[in-house]
Protein backbone atom coordinates (compact mmCIF):
# COMPACT_ATOMS: atom_id res chain seq x y z
CA UNK A 1 0.00 0.00 0.00
CA UNK A 2 2.86 2.40 0.81
CA UNK A 3 4.40 1.88 -2.62
CA UNK A 4 1.04 2.42 -4.30
CA UNK A 5 0.52 5.66 -2.38
CA UNK A 6 4.00 6.89 -3.29
CA UNK A 7 3.28 6.24 -6.96
CA UNK A 8 -0.17 7.79 -6.87
CA UNK A 9 -1.11 11.37 -7.63
CA UNK A 10 -1.68 11.93 -3.91
CA UNK A 11 1.81 13.37 -3.42
CA UNK A 12 1.00 16.14 -5.88
CA UNK A 13 -2.09 17.18 -3.89
CA UNK A 14 -0.44 17.37 -0.46
CA UNK A 15 0.32 20.83 0.84
CA UNK A 16 4.01 21.52 1.25
CA UNK A 17 6.51 24.01 2.58
CA UNK A 18 5.69 27.53 1.42
CA UNK A 19 1.99 26.80 0.85
CA UNK A 20 -0.69 28.69 2.74
CA UNK A 21 -2.45 26.48 5.26
CA UNK A 22 -6.23 26.53 4.98
CA UNK A 23 -8.08 27.88 7.96
CA UNK A 24 -10.37 25.42 9.69
CA UNK A 25 -12.58 25.12 12.70
CA UNK A 26 -13.46 21.88 14.46
CA UNK A 27 -14.72 20.90 17.88
CA UNK A 28 -12.09 19.77 20.37
CA UNK A 29 -12.54 16.67 22.48
CA UNK A 30 -14.07 18.89 25.17
CA UNK A 31 -16.53 20.34 22.65
CA UNK A 32 -15.08 23.84 22.33
CA UNK A 33 -14.48 25.24 18.85
CA UNK A 34 -10.82 25.29 17.79
CA UNK A 35 -9.69 27.22 14.73
CA UNK A 36 -6.29 27.47 13.16
CA UNK A 37 -6.57 31.26 12.75
CA UNK A 38 -7.38 31.66 16.44
CA UNK A 39 -4.47 29.51 17.51
CA UNK A 40 -2.08 31.40 15.22
CA UNK A 41 -2.92 34.67 16.99
CA UNK A 42 -0.88 33.41 19.93
CA UNK A 43 2.03 32.03 17.92
CA UNK A 44 2.91 29.32 15.44
CA UNK A 45 1.04 26.03 15.32
CA UNK A 46 1.92 22.42 14.81
CA UNK A 47 -0.85 20.56 12.99
CA UNK A 48 -0.45 16.81 13.00
CA UNK A 49 -2.72 14.35 11.24
CA UNK A 50 -2.86 10.88 12.71
CA UNK A 51 -4.71 7.78 11.56
CA UNK A 52 -6.33 6.91 14.89
CA UNK A 53 -5.91 5.55 18.38
CA UNK A 54 -5.67 2.03 16.96
CA UNK A 55 -2.37 2.95 15.24
CA UNK A 56 0.63 2.26 17.48
CA UNK A 57 2.90 4.55 15.42
CA UNK A 58 0.40 7.40 15.81
CA UNK A 59 0.23 6.83 19.56
CA UNK A 60 4.02 6.88 19.85
CA UNK A 61 4.15 10.14 17.91
CA UNK A 62 1.47 11.78 20.06
CA UNK A 63 3.22 10.67 23.26
CA UNK A 64 6.48 12.14 21.96
CA UNK A 65 4.75 15.48 21.36
CA UNK A 66 3.17 15.29 24.78
CA UNK A 67 6.63 14.89 26.35
CA UNK A 68 7.90 18.11 24.76
CA UNK A 69 4.65 20.11 24.84
CA UNK A 70 5.95 22.46 27.55
CA UNK A 71 8.72 23.40 25.11
CA UNK A 72 6.05 24.23 22.52
CA UNK A 73 4.34 26.48 25.07
CA UNK A 74 7.62 28.26 25.85
CA UNK A 75 7.81 29.44 22.22
CA UNK A 76 4.09 30.31 22.13
CA UNK A 77 3.13 27.38 19.87
CA UNK A 78 -0.06 25.35 19.77
CA UNK A 79 -0.40 21.67 18.94
CA UNK A 80 -3.47 20.53 17.00
CA UNK A 81 -3.84 16.77 16.51
CA UNK A 82 -6.42 15.80 13.90
CA UNK A 83 -7.84 12.33 13.36
CA UNK A 84 -10.79 10.99 11.39
CA UNK A 85 -11.99 9.15 14.51
CA UNK A 86 -15.38 9.99 15.93
CA UNK A 87 -15.11 11.88 19.22
CA UNK A 88 -16.17 8.91 21.35
CA UNK A 89 -13.19 6.97 19.98
CA UNK A 90 -10.87 9.97 20.08
CA UNK A 91 -11.51 10.68 23.76
CA UNK A 92 -9.58 7.56 24.65
CA UNK A 93 -6.77 8.68 22.34
CA UNK A 94 -6.32 12.37 23.10
CA UNK A 95 -6.87 14.41 26.22
CA UNK A 96 -6.97 17.77 24.51
CA UNK A 97 -6.91 19.36 21.09
CA UNK A 98 -7.92 16.07 19.49
CA UNK A 99 -9.94 17.06 16.46
CA UNK A 100 -11.99 14.67 14.41
CA UNK A 101 -12.76 14.77 10.70
CA UNK A 102 -11.16 13.81 7.39
CA UNK A 103 -12.61 17.01 5.97
CA UNK A 104 -9.58 18.97 7.19
CA UNK A 105 -7.11 16.30 6.03
CA UNK A 106 -8.77 16.57 2.63
CA UNK A 107 -8.04 20.34 2.59
CA UNK A 108 -4.37 19.48 3.14
CA UNK A 109 -4.52 16.91 0.29
CA UNK A 110 -3.83 13.95 2.57
CA UNK A 111 -6.83 11.60 2.24
CA UNK A 112 -6.70 8.26 0.46
CA UNK A 113 -9.01 5.27 0.20
CA UNK A 114 -7.76 1.94 1.42
CA UNK A 115 -7.51 -0.87 -1.15
CA UNK A 116 -9.79 -3.93 -0.78
CA UNK A 117 -6.99 -6.19 0.53
CA UNK A 118 -6.21 -3.75 3.37
CA UNK A 119 -9.90 -3.41 4.19
CA UNK A 120 -10.20 -7.20 4.45
CA UNK A 121 -7.07 -7.39 6.62
CA UNK A 122 -8.37 -4.62 8.89
CA UNK A 123 -11.71 -6.35 9.30
CA UNK A 124 -9.90 -9.59 10.20
CA UNK A 125 -8.08 -7.63 12.94
CA UNK A 126 -11.40 -6.15 14.17
CA UNK A 127 -10.48 -2.65 13.02
CA UNK A 128 -13.58 -1.32 11.25
CA UNK A 129 -12.77 2.21 10.13
CA UNK A 130 -16.36 2.87 9.10
CA UNK A 131 -17.39 2.29 12.72
CA UNK A 132 -14.40 4.03 14.31
CA UNK A 133 -14.59 7.07 12.02
CA UNK A 134 -18.36 7.20 11.75
CA UNK A 135 -18.14 7.36 7.96
CA UNK A 136 -19.20 5.06 5.18
CA UNK A 137 -15.82 5.15 3.42
CA UNK A 138 -12.62 3.31 4.20
CA UNK A 139 -10.27 6.28 4.03
CA UNK A 140 -7.44 7.64 6.10
CA UNK A 141 -5.12 10.62 6.06
CA UNK A 142 -1.47 10.15 5.26
CA UNK A 143 0.22 10.80 8.62
CA UNK A 144 1.55 14.34 8.36
CA UNK A 145 2.95 17.13 10.48
CA UNK A 146 2.96 20.79 9.55
CA UNK A 147 4.63 23.71 11.30
CA UNK A 148 2.67 26.82 10.42
CA UNK A 149 3.80 30.37 11.11
CA UNK A 150 1.56 33.19 12.34
CA UNK A 151 0.93 34.30 8.73
CA UNK A 152 -0.54 30.84 7.99
CA UNK A 153 2.44 29.82 5.85
CA UNK A 154 3.66 26.24 6.15
CA UNK A 155 7.34 26.38 7.12
CA UNK A 156 7.78 22.63 7.63
CA UNK A 157 5.74 19.96 5.86
CA UNK A 158 6.23 16.28 6.48
CA UNK A 159 3.70 13.92 4.89
CA UNK A 160 4.97 10.41 4.34
CA UNK A 161 2.85 7.60 2.87
CA UNK A 162 4.96 5.22 4.99
CA UNK A 163 3.02 5.44 8.26
CA UNK A 164 6.02 4.06 10.19
CA UNK A 165 8.18 7.11 9.37
CA UNK A 166 7.45 10.33 11.24
CA UNK A 167 9.10 13.71 11.64
CA UNK A 168 11.30 13.85 14.72
CA UNK A 169 9.71 15.99 17.46
CA UNK A 170 13.11 17.66 17.99
CA UNK A 171 12.97 18.87 14.35
CA UNK A 172 9.51 20.33 14.99
CA UNK A 173 10.78 22.07 18.12
CA UNK A 174 13.78 23.44 16.22
CA UNK A 175 11.48 24.90 13.56
CA UNK A 176 9.26 26.46 16.22
CA UNK A 177 12.26 27.96 17.98
CA UNK A 178 13.46 29.51 14.71
CA UNK A 179 10.06 31.23 14.36
CA UNK A 180 10.24 32.80 17.80
CA UNK A 181 9.93 36.54 17.74
CA UNK A 182 13.13 38.36 18.84
CA UNK A 183 11.24 40.21 21.59
CA UNK A 184 9.61 37.10 23.04
Residue 94 pLDDT: 43
* pLDDT tens profile 87-102: 665 444 444 344 456 8
Residue 135 pLDDT: 83
Residue 9 pLDDT: 63
pLDDT category of residue 3 using cuts at 50, 70 and 90: low
Rounded to an integer, what distance in angstroms lies between the CA atom of residue 62 and that of residue 64? 5
* pLDDT tens profile 126-177: 888 888 888 888 898 999 999 999 999 999 999 988 899 999 999 999 999 9
Please name each of the domains of the chain with its CATH number: 2-159 (3.40.30.10)
The DSSP annotation for the chain comes to: -HHHHHHSTHHHHS--TTSBPPP-EEE-TTS-EEEHHHHHHSS-EEEEE---TT-HHHHHHHHHHHHTHHHHHHTT-EEEEEESS-HHHHTTT-SSSEEE-HHHHHHTT-EEEPPHHHHHHHHHTT--HHHHHTSSS-EEEPPEEEEE-TTSBEEEEEE-SSTT----HHHHHHHHHHH--TT-
What is the pTM assigned to this prediction?
A: 0.86
Amino acid sequence: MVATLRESALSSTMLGTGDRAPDFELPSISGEKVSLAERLQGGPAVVTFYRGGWCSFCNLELRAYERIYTEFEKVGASLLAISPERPDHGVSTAESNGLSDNRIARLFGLVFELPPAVIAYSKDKNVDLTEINGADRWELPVPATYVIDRDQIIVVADANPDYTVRLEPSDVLEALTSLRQPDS
